[in-house]
Amino acid sequence: MSSPFVRRRRLAAELRALREARSLTADQLACLIHQSRMKISKLENAHIRPDLADVMKILDVLGVTGEKWHEIVRIARDAAERGWWDSYGDAMGDRQRLYADIESGAKTIREYQPGTMPGILQTPDYTWALIEHAKAEGPITYIPERLVEARLQRQRTVLRSGGPRYEVILDEVGLRRFSVPPDVMHDQLHHVIKIVETQPHVTVRVFPLVTGMATSLMPRSQLILFTFPDACDPPMAIAETVSTDIFHTEPSEVSRHLGRYEYVRGTALSEVTSLTFLSELADQILTR
């Protein structure tokens, strides 16, 4: 399926462009379809799930016909779809629900992770250890059991046969400064090795601590790059911060983040050497 979130963003851009091409303001369009300006604003900023009837009214008012009409309606239908993550509501956490949505329709996923293990590669024990850290910081807004369950479903979605090409670059600093019990980290590293050895569409590489002079700026935090099967759905870069995620689809912004990712990738250890590194590190962890 296509990612409903990605299609909502594309629908928003299409509707806004069509309205502006007719020299209408959001207020004027709202009056013409007997809706509030707020609803038009939310629709054009991808903040709500679209109502197909409203979208058809907008297209009729804007005089959109023929193949363009059918194209926009198809996008709206995809944007209105519900996925398995919707059944969890807030129980799985807002951020994880959004990632599950985007991953569902991805063609490729490339990720640089300077700290914790990516959710798609986590063992349940590793996830539970992170939950305990979150609890220690203050109240949590999700249900732990449901979050763990949903994370496993995300993993099945991405790691399935025919799933997206998934490449992860793990930073050696984050691997050595782990924040979970040693036995959990040991098992986690061997879990990653097993995934790579059994899943041909998954690649894991390690960005070493010592690289010499950096020839490019590096990502400042976790960075994820997505592409999608439909060439009209633009590539997306997501830079993570402590409290939110910043989404980029503007070509210049995506290109900037891609350049930083490519530097890290070009400097990382080979896949074979990376797996050897992970195995040796796992053994070191238990013998300290």
Whether 135 has a pLDDT exceeding 90, the answer reads yes
- Rounded to an integer, the average pLDDT of 79-86 is 95
pLDDT band at 2; cut points 50, 70, 90: confident
Whether 183 has a pLDDT exceeding 80, the answer reads yes
Cα dihedral 157, 160, 163, 164 sign = positive
pLDDT tens digit string along 6-30? 999 999 999 999 999 999 999 999 9
- Rounded to an integer, the average pLDDT of 135-152 is 94
> Under 8 Å CB-to-CB from 133, ≥6 apart: which residues?
179
Q: What is the pLDDT of residue 210?
A: 82
Q: Residue 168: beta bridge partners?
A: 111, 204
Report, in angstroms and rounded to the nearest whole number, the Rg of the chain calculated over CA atoms. 21
Contact 239, 245 (CB under 8 A): yes
**Alpha helix stretches (DSSP H) within the chain:** 4-21, 26-32, 37-44, 52-61, 66-80, 94-104, 124-137, 144-159, 172-176, 182-198, 251-267, 271-287
Q: What is the pLDDT of residue 220?
A: 82
Contact 45, 8 (CB under 8 A): no
- Rounded to an integer, the average pLDDT of 101-112 is 96
Whether 218 has a pLDDT exceeding 90, the answer reads no
Q: What is the pLDDT of residue 77?
A: 96
> Under 8 Å CB-to-CB from 96, ≥6 apart: which residues?
119, 142, 147, 150, 151, 154
Q: What is the pLDDT of residue 212?
A: 74
Q: What is the pLDDT of residue 217?
A: 80
- Rounded Cα distance between 50 and 81, Å, is 9
**What is the SS3 assignment for 40?**
helix
Q: What is the pLDDT of residue 70?
A: 96
Q: What's the whole-model pTM score? A: 0.91
Could you tell me the CA-to-CA distances from 190 to 113, 124, 219, 280, 282 in Å, in that order?
Answer: 18, 14, 26, 10, 7
- 4-21 vs 52-61: helix axis angle to the nearest 10? 20
pLDDT band at 240; cut points 50, 70, 90: confident
- Rounded to an integer, the average pLDDT of 86-110 is 94
The H-or-E segment that residue 225 falls in is strand 223-227
Mean pLDDT of the chain: 93
- Rounded to an integer, the average pLDDT of 169-196 is 96
Domains and CATH numbers, the chain: 4-80 (1.10.260.40), 85-287 (3.30.870)
Q: CB count, 10 Å around CB of 225?
A: 21
pLDDT tens digit string along 40-68? 999 999 999 999 999 999 999 999 999 99
* Least confident among 18-22, 197-201, 204-208, 239-243: 239-243
- Rounded to an integer, the average pLDDT of 210-225 is 83
Q: What is the pLDDT of residue 287?
A: 79
pLDDT band at 84; cut points 50, 70, 90: very high
pLDDT band at 246; cut points 50, 70, 90: confident
Pull the structure tokens for residue 225: 């790059």
